[in-house]
Amino acid sequence: MKGSGYLNVLKHIYEELSLLGLFHDKINDLEEIRDKNGIYLYRMKYNGKHLVIKYFEKDEFRREIEYYKILKNLNIPTIEVVGYTENTLLLEDLDRSLYYRLGIESDLSDIEVAKALALWYKKLHHKGAKFLKNNDRRFYKETDYITKENIELVMNKTNTKDNKVWKLLIDNLDLMFLKIKEFEETFTYNDFYWTNLVVSKDKKEAFMFDYNMLGIGFRYNDVRNVCSSLSDEASKIFIKEYGRINQEEKDIDDVISTLVSLAQACERDIFPKWAQEALDKVNNGKLYNEILKIL
């Protein structure tokens, strides 16, 4: 039996639906899909149309509503937004879409999907860079994790404070950020995986959804993020379709991605397995050499 918390969420859901102009007596088959970190997903049927409502209980996650609006204005493909409030998105239900489907694990090795996905990322990066040149709004940045405080946290939590890499990094932190500023900033998706993927049924289109981690970075951030999950063949097709890769961006991303992974991992009570590779780069000297390379 569901408790009072569930009933309270339902009350808020119906309040949001009223704000969207939907009549309660026309709402059918309201069903919970997911409840995670104060983000609630429900599917429903309204006047014969299948919809998903995404309700954000916490203010910190409501930024996704703004991201949907920005991407729509930039003509970057997203799930169809039927409506929104300050706390809620009303979206097309892709499980009932005639044209699109949700991603499946085998998409990670599908070269047609990789090709279509590269075109979406290319558009996101091209239009995102233009948008940011004319806007001074603050967005999420992965590089914000790289602070002296977080470096000290990593040193202490991983028992590596005697490793020479940390002195090299701290002594050259300002110089490294100057190097980062040499690259053009754009929107980066930052959270690629097949569970966040949408593919047209003819595989001519593919795009990402769930924009909570969308932020500012440089192009190679996303290229690395995508290719680390794709099969070798799909990764090659993605890069070929995407176009030229900036080697200097790759070199600096090697450092940044490692430091961000370690900082995020050390925020947790138990060090996660996905960050072990980054920690290995500290212990085997690879991170030290990568930092030297960009200075």
Query: At 73, which CATH number?
Result: 3.30.200.20
Distance (Å, rounded) from C-alpha 94 to C-alpha 52? 9
Residue 263 in contact with residue 282, Cβ under 8 Å?
no
Domain ranges, residue 57: 4-97
Q: How far out from the chain centre does Cα 209 lie? A: 8
Same domain, 273 and 127: yes
**Of 10, 199, 170, 12, which is closest to residue 94 (Cα–Cα)?**
199
Q: Which of 46, 72, 97 lies at the terminal end of a domain, its last residue?
A: 97
Number of domains in the chain: 2
28, 133, 163, 181 from 137: Cα distances, Å: 39, 10, 38, 17
Using CA atoms in the order 138, 144, 149, 155, what is the torsion angle rounded to 10 degrees? 170
Same domain, 49 and 134: no
The CA distances from residue 40 to 32, 50, 57, 62, in Å, are: 8, 17, 8, 12
Question: Structure pTM?
Answer: 0.90
For every one of its 295 residues, what pLDDT tens digit does the chain have, with 9 covering 90 and above?
A: 455 566 688 888 889 889 999 888 888 888 899 888 889 999 999 988 999 999 999 998 999 999 999 999 999 999 999 999 999 999 999 999 999 999 999 999 999 999 999 999 999 999 999 999 988 778 889 999 999 999 999 999 999 999 999 999 999 999 999 999 889 999 999 999 999 999 999 999 999 999 999 999 999 999 999 999 999 999 999 999 999 899 999 999 999 999 999 999 999 999 999 999 999 999 999 999 999 999 9
